[in-house]
Structure 1
Amino acid sequence: MNDRSAAGPSITVRHEPVQARAAHRIEALLDAAAAVVVEHGIEHLTTALVAERAGASIGTVYRYFPDRVAVLVALAERNLERMHLAIERVLLAEHETLSDAIGRVIEAMVETFRQVPSFRALRTGEGLDLGPQDREPVAPLFGDDIVGYLRERWDLEVDEEQRERIDLAIGGLDALVTYAFLHDPDGDPRYLALGMQIAREQLEPILAAAQG
């Protein structure tokens, strides 16, 4: 393995002045890393494999990522951002009912697993040993988005019990969708359906409150 791990893992991407060419190169390296993760698994990802897949020199990889852990962290952050953008697009759209909006959020989360292959294996880095920095749980992060949406669009203030239901809905959906894609690249429809059902059951009291 051709990795610089002797000095201890680093989780910080090495940034140069933000330029279009540099941003494009980082994206290309992360695309290559995603392909390696999908084909070989997280445990087999190395900076050498990323360089080979990207058609770049190992020096180019080290220019932005000091080691394999930094590559995985950056890829996990990109996955998180893509999920966040998918949910944000839904929440910015017009929906006739809150139930419809929540349904679209659930569909967007599932679709992210389907459209972003590396998400199935890495997701946002939760539960993986990616260095000294703790990975924040995903459910509360997306819960914040939904709580803000409920307040701004539907004038609904969420109490402690409702907030817990939101986090449980997202966490339960995430767990079942993750399992659904474990052996099926399209997602096992049984577990997808169960995840959506559980999420809706947790959110039902909030939907009812919004309706009056």
Structure 2
Amino acid sequence: MLDACAALVDEVGYEGLTTTLLAERAGVAIGSVYQFFPDKRAVVQALTQRNLEAYLQRLTERVTSSELTDWWDGVGAAIDEYIHMHRTVPGFRTLHFGDVVDMHLLDEQRDNNAVIAEQLAEVLVAKFPVPDADELRFALAIALEAGDALIRFAFRRDNKGDEQVLTEAKALVREYLHRQFTGRLVRQP
């Protein structure tokens, strides 16, 4: 059902999505949809959670590999994975991490990008000598908001992502984080 939801969201958008359409596309009775999900929002929430888990798994695999040598490489990997999901994961370009539906879809207390920033901070702290601090999460939240807006812009300009805009998005995030943390982020041995 989640795969059917992802395909439908790409075709008709969130507003056009109905549980009836979902049941038809998934080849199940409408009662089967309601057995697992009370409404379309719950289906989209499950799809968003699946996308978040896939994103974090892929990011963790990249960050823990030996090819990344510093925290910026980890941030770059996070941006690259987000762009990759826009290009390859059905429904992601429309839903992102659920903010189209609800800014608090992933967590009732925090907005979706705050959840992503916290998860990203955990991944970076686990691999690189950076402090696990509120300052890092706050800076990552700002970087995510700015990067997310520019990545969306890139995909509005070009269905595959305008490379010039994507390059500028990465540069903006890098410069912001560099300004915030140069000489302050690395833990002393």
TM-score scaled by length of structure 1: 0.73
Partners in 2 of 1:73 and 1:102 — Cα distance? Answer: 25
Question: Match for 2:165: what amino acid?
Answer: Y
Question: Match for 2:145: what amino acid?
Answer: G
- Kept in 1, the 8 Å contact 2:41–2:101? The answer is no
- Kept in 2, the 8 Å contact 1:69–1:131? The answer is no
After TM superposition, the structure 1 stretch with the greater mean CA deviation from structure 2, 131-140 or 37-46, is 131-140
Describe the superposition over 1:103-147 as per-residue Cα deviations: whole angstroms up to 9, x where unpaired: 222211211211113111111222535999848423332322343
Q: Which residue of 2 aligns with 1:137?
A: 111
**Offset at 1:152?**
3.8
Q: Which residue of 2 aligns with 1:96?
A: 69
Q: Which residue of 2 aligns with 1:196?
A: 170
Q: Which residue of 2 aligns with 1:112?
A: 85
Partners in 1 of 2:103 and 2:78 — Cα distance? Answer: 28
**Offset at 1:156?**
2.5
Over alpha carbons, which structure has the higher Rg?
1
Matched, 1:70 2:42: yes
RMSD: 2.8
Describe the superposition over 1:45-87 as per-residue Cα deviations: whole angstroms up to 9, x where unpaired: 1111111111111122121112222222222222222222232
Partners in 2 of 1:141 and 1:131 — Cα distance? Answer: 9
- Kept in 2, the 8 Å contact 1:126–1:136? The answer is no
Matched, 1:184 2:162: no
Matched, 1:48 2:16: no
Gaps of 5+ in 2: none
Describe the superposition over 1:167-194 as per-residue Cα deviations: whole angstroms up to 9, x where unpaired: 2112211121122223533112232122
Pick aligned residue for 2:55 from 72, 83, 99 = 83
Partners in 2 of 1:33 and 1:156 — Cα distance? Answer: 38
- Kept in 1, the 8 Å contact 2:37–2:43? The answer is yes
Matched, 1:124 2:121: no
In structure 2, do the counterparts of structure 1 residues 196 and 69 end up closer, same or farther at CA, with 3 Å as the change threshold?
Answer: same
Matched, 1:30 2:35: no
After TM superposition, the structure 1 stretch with the greater mean CA deviation from structure 2, 102-111 or 156-165, is 156-165
Question: Match for 1:166: what amino acid?
Answer: L
Matched, 1:157 2:131: yes
Partners in 1 of 2:145 and 2:71 — Cα distance? Answer: 20
Partners in 2 of 1:61 and 1:170 — Cα distance? Answer: 34
Query: Sequence identity, in percent?
Result: 33
TM-score scaled by length of structure 2: 0.81
**Offset at 1:99?**
3.1
**Offset at 1:36?**
0.8
- Kept in 2, the 8 Å contact 1:76–1:125? The answer is yes
**Offset at 1:208?**
4.8
Describe the superposition over 1:7-64 as per-residue Cα deviations: whole angstroms up to 9, x where unpaired: xxxxxxxxxxxxxxxxxxxxxx010011111111111111111111111111221211
**Offset at 1:160?**
5.0
Partners in 1 of 2:173 and 2:134 — Cα distance? Answer: 17
- Kept in 1, the 8 Å contact 2:147–2:173? The answer is yes
